[in-house]
Structure 1
Amino acid sequence: MPVVPPGSKILVTGASGFIAVHVVHEALKAGFQVVGTVRSSDKGDYLTELFSKQYPGKFTYKIAEDLEAPGAFDDAVRGVQGVLHTASPFHFNAEGKALQALVNPAVNGTKSVLKSIKDHGTEVQRVVITSSFAAILDPARTPPVNYTEADWNESSPAESEKLGDKQASQPAYRASKTLAERAAWNFVEKEKPQWDLSTINPPLVLGPILHQVNAPEKLNTSVSSVWGALHGSKSEDDLPGALGCVVDVRDVAIAHVKALQVPEAGGERFAVTIGQFTQQGVVDVIHDASWIPEELKKQVPIGKKGNYNVTQNNLSGAKAEKVLGVKYHSFKSTIEDAL
């Protein structure tokens, strides 16, 4: 029997985010009633309208403006059987304020929601947290490294403790995801709540957009990189271009929903990925797509088609396939659907 069976009411925090909207969509498709927390009624109304025709009455929202505020999630966790905690900052605009802009919101937001669940979420059976490959990959290790869920990022949190607000944005983001996930596992170990925990650890997430975007400059960090490649932001010098590992946002969403249901997912981390990709791979997909106008392709570098031979780290997504039953989208469909 699923830990949290379809028909149950679940909570998705940060429901207006790029990944979170897909999580809400997959949860609704799976038969769940979904409560989402958002920072404003504008975002909540957008989501209500987005899902109202196909899933009438199945999505509602609550306002949680400040993720770090004590008790911010107290009301939202009441009466739900599962929690998918996706709310956490993902940007690199933190120069001179690494703790304030990235580390503290991620860590304190996670602690806040877990405390609310323990104190007020009396029906909750499982909590799933959106972590990241950033909590696995240790930049102090020289590539290529084949990473799995057994690995942890040790150097970025150590640097955060040493540098504080002076830590550069990218390592501060990595530290924030690592420290937030560590805080979650430590909370469960110390408090021994009635629910268990799973984490989803994706690398760069691409694919179609469902969340509210009013202009190209408002695109989320990951998708904006692919959109930019289509609109002249890359040159031949950027190829072949190691870009790390990648996964489709739809597969990340499915992994979250499956982790709520599969008994064996309790107490486990799940990396979700199809593995490495390169800038050459992105431009190859663009040039091969017959539906993309030639005038746009003229802005896109060509490089040497199929030249993906770069030195970079790898991450295995095999555990999520085996335990959660995730069937990954192809790289081609992921990139095309992000454009």
Structure 2
Amino acid sequence: MTLIAPGSKILVTGANGFVAVWLVQALLEQDYCVRGTVRSQEKGTFLLDKFKSYGEKFEVVVVEDFTKDGAFDEAVKGVEAIQHTASPFHFNADDPKGMCIEQYSRFINTIRACLFTELIDPAVNGTVGILQSASKYAPNVKRIVILASCGSILRDADEPLTFDETDWNTQAPEEVKRLGRNASGVAKYRTAKTLAERAAWRFYDHKSQVNWDLTTIHPPFIFGPVAHEVSSPKDLNTSAKEWYNVVAAPNSSGRSNDFLAEVGSSWVDVRDVAASLVKAMNVKEAGGERIIVNAGHYIWQDWLNIANSLTPSPIPSHAPGTEKALPVGNTEAIKNPVYMIKYNTAKEKRILGLTYRTMEETTRDTLADYERRGW
């Protein structure tokens, strides 16, 4: 039985994001009404035009700064489920705010780490803020789904590892604690996602009389065609930009053979992430769960081999021998590949039962999208 009936109003925060636009589309296609938050009216204009055929079933509200107290108080009123996707994803954060916070778990209770204005403030305050607003002003909400990340689960290692939902990333917060401003961008991002999720579960576990339950969805790197407003490849979000730069950009931005053969992770198609968020909203058994959604693992050479093998090519403007020819890389690289990061998705299979797109499907659709855009 569907937990949230079609026709119900769903709040999607950060509705103009890479995943969120696909999510809004999926919800509308399944006959839900959607209220999307954006940071400015200008950002909402694109969405209103894109989904104009749905008329009053889609609306946009402006939440300029979701780190402020009560930022979502008005937005949550009258909705029956919340999809919280608003959170920054990049590896370039630098500016420490100079204040400290109490951390949100047993292993990190002894740590006092500097907040980074660009990542940790928005991630933690935005996540706790949406839960506070829902508790105060959304009595009809049955479920809140948070788009989390495998960044709060994995850790880097020198040997292949397989992670599941019982794992928490302690490595990145320790690096941020130790190095502060000098911590890597990846560590800062993963710390933000870890602290935000810890804060969400702490709120949920300690808040009395909430009428809703909580689910967190954890994708690894997200690839696939673009549905949000982007004018050129340089404006893509972090994961999509990296895929473009390696797989489609002329000369592959000078990537070394070692990079193509040794650097990789796990991935999932953006449209499958959107589908997982809708299912997580509706499946009763998903309540109170962390769920990893993962299509598989890769090294970058895998993507290059697939892109060059597709017939007919979905991106003829990048044909071999032309100035924009797709990079070939090192075709010897995957004879004995070692995939360093894998995920156990048994819980997802049991609760959500997703069918994931293949690397071939994602590659074909993404390159065809680039061709349509003249990239």
Contact 2:40 2:62 in 1 (8 A): yes
What SS does structure 1 have at the residue aligned with 2:55? Answer: coil
> Does 2:321 align with 1:327?
no
Superposed, which structure 2 residues align to 1:247-286 within 5 Å? 247-286=268-307
Aligned to 1:19: 19
Aligned to 1:118: 135
2:149, 2:259 → 1: CA distance?
25
Contact 1:96 1:166 in 2 (8 A): no
Structure 1 stretch 306-315 or stretch 125-134: which is displaced more?
Answer: 306-315
What SS does structure 2 have at the residue aligned with 1:338? Answer: helix
2:336, 2:82 → 1: CA distance?
39
2:335, 2:117 → 1: CA distance?
41
2:258, 2:187 → 1: CA distance?
25
1:274, 1:86 → 2: CA distance?
20
1:143, 1:288 → 2: CA distance?
31
Contact 1:240 1:308 in 2 (8 A): no
Aligned to 2:104: none
CA displacement, residues 74-133 of structure 1 (integer Å, 9 cap, x when unaligned)? 110000000000000100111344611111210111111111111111111100001100
Superposed, which structure 2 residues align to 1:172-187 within 5 Å? 172-187=188-203
Stretches of structure 2 that go unaligned for 5 or more consecutive residues are 97-114, 368-375
Contact 2:261 2:333 in 1 (8 A): no
Displacement of 1:8: 0.7
2:41, 2:328 → 1: CA distance?
39
Choose from 126, 131, 139 the match for 1:109: 126
CA displacement, residues 253-310 of structure 1 (integer Å, 9 cap, x when unaligned)? 0110111110000001110011211111011011112323222335442422753612
Aligned to 1:82: 81
Over the matched positions of the two proteins, sequence identity in percent amounts to 41
Amino acid in structure 1 at the alignment position of 2:56? G
Choose from 325, 329, 342 the match for 1:297: 325
Aligned to 1:201: 218
Structure 1 stretch 192-201 or stretch 231-240: which is displaced more?
Answer: 231-240
Structure 1 stretch 98-107 or stretch 174-183: which is displaced more?
Answer: 98-107
1:245, 1:326 → 2: CA distance?
16
Aligned to 1:6: 6
Superposed, which structure 2 residues align to 1:6-155 within 5 Å? 6-53=6-53, 55-97=54-96, 99-139=116-156, 141-155=157-171
Amino acid in structure 2 at the alignment position of 1:61? V
Displacement of 1:175: 0.5
Structure 1 stretch 163-172 or stretch 298-307: which is displaced more?
Answer: 298-307
Aligned to 1:310: 338
1:138, 1:298 → 2: CA distance?
32
State the Cα RMSD in Å.
1.7
Contact 2:123 2:196 in 1 (8 A): yes
Contact 2:169 2:194 in 1 (8 A): yes
Stretches of structure 1 that go unaligned for 5 or more consecutive residues are none
Displacement of 1:168: 2.1
Structure 1 stretch 323-332 or stretch 73-82: which is displaced more?
Answer: 323-332
Distance 1:308 1:194, change over 3 A: farther
Distance 1:63 1:150, change over 3 A: same
Distance 1:250 1:298, change over 3 A: closer
Displacement of 1:224: 1.0
What SS does structure 2 have at the residue aligned with 1:297? Answer: coil
Instruction: State the TM-score, normalizing by the size of structure 1.
Output: 0.94
> Does 2:236 align with 1:219?
yes
Select the structure of larger CA radius of gyration: 2
Aligned residue pair count: 337
Distance 1:6 1:310, change over 3 A: same
What SS does structure 2 have at the residue aligned with 1:101? Answer: coil
Structure 1 stretch 230-239 or stretch 3-12: which is displaced more?
Answer: 230-239
Contact 2:264 2:339 in 1 (8 A): no
Contact 2:95 2:118 in 1 (8 A): no
Contact 2:88 2:119 in 1 (8 A): yes
1:122, 1:52 → 2: CA distance?
29
1:143, 1:48 → 2: CA distance?
47
